[in-house]
Structures are given as C-alpha cells and as structure tokens.
Amino acid sequence: MTPALAISGLTLRYGDIVAVSDLDLEIQPGQTVALLGPNGAGKSTIVNAVLGLLPAAAGTVEILGRRPPDAVRAGSVGAMLQHGGLPSEARVGEVVDLVRRSFPTAWPLDDLIVTAGIDGLLGRPVEALSGGQRQRVLLALALAGAPPLLLLDEPTSAMDVGGRRAFWTTMRRLADRGHTVVFATHHLEEADAVADRVVVITGGRVVADGSAAQVKAGTVARTISFTAPAGARLDGLPAVTSSSHQGSTLTLTTADASTTLRALLADRASLPDLEVRGASLEDAVLSLVAAGRNGALR
C-alpha cells in the first residue's frame, strides 16, 4: 500500500541553522500520529515541508506517492497551519464554500458543520469569531475537501480545556472514518488521548516512535524525589537527565534509578521523604528530549 506520508532523508535549514536533519518517517493510511515535542523541536518545520511551504535542503517527501505541490493541487491533503488565517470582510460560510469548491470532492456541508463544530457560525463575519471558533473554522477548511491526509499544526493552541476535549473527539472520529491524521502538539495529554502512534521529535530528529505506551516503556526513566535544601550540590550524579526543585522537594529524572540512588546514598546519610516512581508519558518525553539534546539517543 502506498504510504499516506513518506519522508526520507529530509533535511531542512533556515539559513545556516539546521532545523531538521536526515529525518525518515513513514505513515500508513488510517493512522493517527502525534508529532510530539517541545517548542522549537522542528514540528512546524516538518509540517511546512510536507506541504511544500518550505523547500527541503535534502531528502524527499511524498504524500500518497505524490510530491507536495502536486499532492496539494490534487486535493490529497488538507491542513491547519500555525500561521494560517481567515480573510477579512468575508463571512464564514463564503470562505468554507470557496475552499470546498476548490477541491475535487467536497465534504458534505451539513456533516462538515457538525464535524468541525461550526454550527451557527456560517453567517458570521470572520472578524466576529472568538479564538476557539476561529480554530474550528480553520479545521473546517482543512476538512473541506475530505482529503485523505490531514495535517494539523498545534490545532488546539487557541482553545480552552472544553474546546480541546471536543476537538480530540473530532480527531478520533476522523480516524474512524479512515482519514490519516498527523498532528503536531506539545500537549502530552493530547497525544496520549488521540494518537495511536506518537513520534517524539527534538532538535529536528526523531527520538522515539511508537504507541504512547511503547514510548513510555521504551525509556527506563524513573523519577527520584526527596527533601533537600535549596542549592544542594548534585552535579555529576550518574544517569541523571534532568532535575527540578519545587519547594524543598528535589526531583531527579534518571535513566538508571539504582545507579543514581547508589551515588546519592554514598554521599549522604539519609534521603528524607524518598520516592522512586515510574515515568509518566510526560517524564518519558522529558527524558527523551534531554537525552536527545545530550546526543545520547540516536
């Protein structure tokens, strides 16, 4: 089967800065994939390159076997962009209609309204939309041509908690209908709730790829927390990938809890309120990101 999205050896540069280096990623039709990573990880850069908005310094991108400009022209892809927008002096219904008509096949209007959650907004001037409503209209534009591949770049960034949850339901529904959905996010909760595959990206490279459960299990990260005075010297502890101080509680994320604990106990008589916990997805990603930065993970 032709992959919905095939990225191979993709390198992207902004001037001298390498934003994405030698990225390989293949996504099969029907998958819902989260591109997860901190701000500046290269997620938007990848989305833009897939859409042909950013030229590749090296490598190839194919959407259902077509190069990006051809795929966009053929209506194979719909997108919600980070810097996409709506035209002034237009009504929502006119914009939706224009975009629907530009695609070879249009998503039936009644169903589009329900799916994107833009009921009652069609007669509104674009200027009168709230942030969340705007996002939903932009989603409607991404869906308007019923494209096989949907690329959503931080789709819930302007939404409140309720809006975000409703949006997740929509995204799952899209996957149920056989659409391939690729969305960039820095919300772990979102990736966990929606995606059947999580690709963790940091520094423009893939540092983990699998189900949310696999990503969590794939890292042996644990957190160690105990009460320690502020400014306690903890430099050079083995296996520690990150540390944080909250009040008097110090939390260390470690790739190897026993090694770290042994070193800690060698230094001091006791570790008050000691806790060792398995990693949440958030911890897993933080440790992956930290390891990626240190170059420890390939």
Partner 1 sequence: MNPLFAFQLRRVGRNRQYLLFTVLLPALFTIFFTKIFGGLASGPVEYQREAALYMVSMMAYGGLGAALGATIRISFDRASGWLRQLRVTPVPQSQVFAVDVAVGALLTLPSLVVVALVGRFVNDVQLGLGTWLALVGVLWAGSIAFVALGLLVGLALDERAAGGAIGFVGVVLAALGGLLAPVEVFPDSMRTLAHAMPSYWYAQLGRDVAAGGAPSATAVLALAAFTAGFAALAVVVARRRPLYAVAG
| Closer CB to partner 1, 84 or 108, in the complex | 84
Contact 9, 172 (CB under 8 A): no
Q: Which are the contacts of 292, defined by CB distance < 8 A and separation ≥ 6?
A: 202, 203, 205, 207
Neighbours of 292 (CB within 10 A): 22
Of the candidate residues 18, 57, 86, 122, the single one contacting partner 1 (CB under 8 A):
86
Distance CA 288, CA 38 (A): 11
Of the candidate residues 2, 9, 24, 90, the single one contacting partner 1 (CB under 8 A):
90
Tell me the number of residues near partner 1 by CB under 8 A.
Answer: 30
Contact 12, 204 (CB under 8 A): yes
Instruction: Please state the closest distance from residue 73 (CB atom) to partner 1, in A.
Output: 5
Distance CA 99, CA 188 (A): 32
Give the pair of three-digit tokens for residue 203. 């520094």
Does the footprint of partner 1 cover residue 194 (CB under 8 A)?
Answer: no
> Residues 201-230: x/- map of binding to partner 1 (CB under 8 A)?
------------------------------
Q: Indicate the helix (H) or strand (E) that contains 94.
A: helix 92-102
> Residues 133-172: x/- map of binding to partner 1 (CB under 8 A)?
-----x--x--xx---------------------------
Give the pair of three-digit tokens for residue 26. 């293949």
Does the footprint of partner 1 cover residue 129 (CB under 8 A)?
Answer: no
> Residues 52-71: x/- map of binding to partner 1 (CB under 8 A)?
-x------------------
Instruction: Please state the closest distance from residue 130 (CB atom) to partner 1, in A.
Output: 16
